Structure 1
Amino acid sequence: MTDPASLLDLLDRRLVCALQLDGRAEPGRIAGVLGVSVRTVTRRLARLRESGVLKVVLMPRAEDEAVGALLLRVRVLRGRVAAVADALAARPDVPFVDVMLGGQEVSAVVVTDRAGRDRLLYHQLPGTDAVTETTVHAVLHLFADAGQWQAGLLTPDEVAALTPTRPTPTPPHRIELDPLDHALLTELGEDARRSQAALAAAVGAPESTVRRRLHRLDAAGLLRTHATIDPRLLGLAVDANLWLALPPGRLAEAGRLLAGHPQVHGVLATSGPHNLMATVFCPDYAALFRFTTEVLGPLGADRVETAIVGRAVKRAGVRLNRPATF
């Protein structure tokens, strides 16, 4: 069996890291920082994107949408998990779906209004004979989301050079979005690396107008991007959800500490018997053990549940392709 991580070499992975910092970074800028030719960067990125291995999309406005979102843990009859995972992944209000190791649990994030929530929880899931149990946690606070995570293959100087300099974001509710703004956001939601010329052609507006609108949207914090890729291709074979029960007095500090850890790609305070959930990437199980003992241990959790992701189905609104040779 081919090791998925072997499908990307070190330069491919470093290019992914560059796009994690700025999904709209131009090839010339990336090439100058990483010390390779523009042609190499252009060719490599085209190969990654055209093969479906890498997709760059707009990151949902987590600060606006995360609080009140739902974390679902759905127990499913053996042999029916793929159908349930696919049905959840097909919903536009479900940006994240994972099948957990063992094949009898689906984990999902739901961002919807009250009516959508009630239909899903009280009618659609109970009406599915494949579902045996549903556990629901409400997100109370966001410490870190997937858009902030970096794979860590760039030097501090490279990170500084590739991190975009932006003004302090204007809260999105303070700017009024017109149909042109919405059209641009829709186009970028499908492919955040579309050029200004391509965007202008797609929305039927002059390129100079598109340039001004993108600057305005960026200043409002609406152009955060997410480089979506199977973490195994970056040498991270283990993806785990960690559910912690912490004394209330330790919750905020623990969330902040975990949010700053390089292996963590999401930290949320939640309702339920576990009040903190962290998602973590590790190269292997030995590294996950070290993370559990050395990082989680000092936090003072009363108990910790470790749930291993068997297959990531959807991340940041993007269906993931299984690793393939390209």
Structure 2
Amino acid sequence: MAELSAADLDEVDRRLVCALQIDGRAEPGRLAEVLGVSVRTVTRRLARLQGSGVLRVVRMPGPRQPGDGALLLRVRVLRGKVEAIAQALAARPEVPFVDVMLGGQEVGAVVLTDDHTRGSLLQGQLAATQAVVETTAHAALHLFADAGQWQAGWLTADEAAALTPLPPGDEEPPTLDALDEALLAELAVDARQSNAALATACGAPESTVRRRVARLAAGGLLRTHATVDPRLLGMTVDANLWLEVPPGRLAEVGAELARHPQVHGVLATSGPANLMAMVFCPDPPGLYRFLTETLGPLGVTRVETTIVARAVKRAGVILPELGTRKPRRG
């Protein structure tokens, strides 16, 4: 199937993606009802978006907190070598996010790993790679919001509320057995698989799979993420903001930014900056307004702004580059 460009997605496509950001496993009938379109339209649009590779809906692990070994990497690379380093990092399963920064000499990445694997990557592979000039690692100290919580904003408040799944109960997450693990692994690849498809893949009765999936969802283990290039949703600027905030205001500023609709990640970090925010903006003037009108009143003392030239991997999914062909007519 041909690649899609930003011009190929209309408002219905974008509203559909936004709906899947809220509930990635919503049935076509439910999506059609909330969006005010036919089931046939939903089915056809989903097939086009997923078949082109621009949309992937995957299961996303729960937010990680201190002690989980999350690192934010900034890797300076020799000019002309950035693509090779970015692809090498993206190929690693413990690296769910990889960005190439504007200027072509820096790669940003998130690494979720234990001490042994972390040392092997930082002191071993990256240090021994002649294309790498410098690697800076910042420990994630507290997570305020991650990519799984961001919504593109193409739905009304009522539509978003209608699609929002019931929150998990207060009970502890279920103890997982081999079938649960197999189901979660399948959903990490494609969270929109039907119960019938999951039953076939895991070699279990469909009725059993249906009960297990409901149990996993009730335990808060089926958080989904609709992975799509933000430019397809009208967000042409993706920026990482490294912020210095007075320690006494760190929790307040982090929580405030986590509620902002343009922010798709906020973490307290080690290093010269103590807060890192990831922001989508419609255009450069939109980023300027965010810096002046949103950050200004929050008492941020210093901002380093880095622009993402290309998102290579998001939420464990390697993204295709946007097509450049002209949109179809008719």
Coarse TM-score class (shorter-chain normalised) = over 0.9
Distance in 2, matches of 1:66 and 1:20, equals 28
The answer to whether the 8 Å contact 2:18/2:153 transfers is yes
Tell me the CA shift for residue 186 of structure 1.
0.8
2:242 alignment counterpart? 243
Which segments of structure 1 move beyond 3 Å, counting only runs of 4 or more? 63-68, 169-172
Distance in 2, matches of 1:202 and 1:80, equals 39
1:160 alignment counterpart? 161
The answer to whether the 8 Å contact 1:60/1:316 transfers is no
1:295 alignment counterpart? 294
Tell me the CA shift for residue 157 of structure 1.
0.8
Identical amino acids, percent of aligned pairs: 71
Tell me the CA shift for residue 65 of structure 1.
7.7
Q: Can you list the C-alpha shifts for 1:37-90, whole angstroms capped at 9, x where unaligned?
A: 000000100110011010000112223588530000000000000000000000
1:77 alignment counterpart? 78
Tell me the CA shift for residue 168 of structure 1.
2.3
TM norm structure 1: 0.96
Distance in 2, matches of 1:180 and 1:66, equals 28
2:148 alignment counterpart? 147
- Structure 1: tracts of 5 or more residues without a match: none
- Structure 2: tracts of 5 or more residues without a match: none
The answer to whether the 8 Å contact 2:239/2:306 transfers is yes
2:37 alignment counterpart? 36
The answer to whether the 8 Å contact 1:244/1:275 transfers is yes
CA RMSD in angstroms comes to 1.5
Q: Which amino acid aligns with 2:232?
A: L
Q: CA 1:65 to 1:16, structure 2 compared with 1: closer, same or farther past 3 Å?
A: farther
Distance in 2, matches of 1:68 and 1:292, equals 30
2:11 alignment counterpart? 10
The answer to whether the 8 Å contact 2:144/2:258 transfers is yes
Q: Aligned to 1:56, what secondary structure does the other structure show? A: strand
Matched, 1:187 2:186: yes
The answer to whether the 8 Å contact 1:267/1:279 transfers is yes
Q: CA 1:90 to 1:293, structure 2 compared with 1: closer, same or farther past 3 Å?
A: same
Q: Which amino acid aligns with 2:250?
A: L
Q: Aligned to 2:148, what secondary structure does the other structure show? A: helix
TM norm structure 2: 0.95
1:87-106 matched pairs, under 5 angstroms: 87-106=88-107
Q: Can you list the C-alpha shifts for 1:73-108, whole angstroms capped at 9, x where unaligned?
A: 000000000000000000000000000000000000
Matched, 1:111 2:112: yes
Q: CA 1:226 to 1:151, structure 2 compared with 1: closer, same or farther past 3 Å?
A: same
Distance in 1, matches of 2:62 and 2:56, equals 18
2:228 alignment counterpart? 229
Q: Which amino acid aligns with 1:104?
A: Q
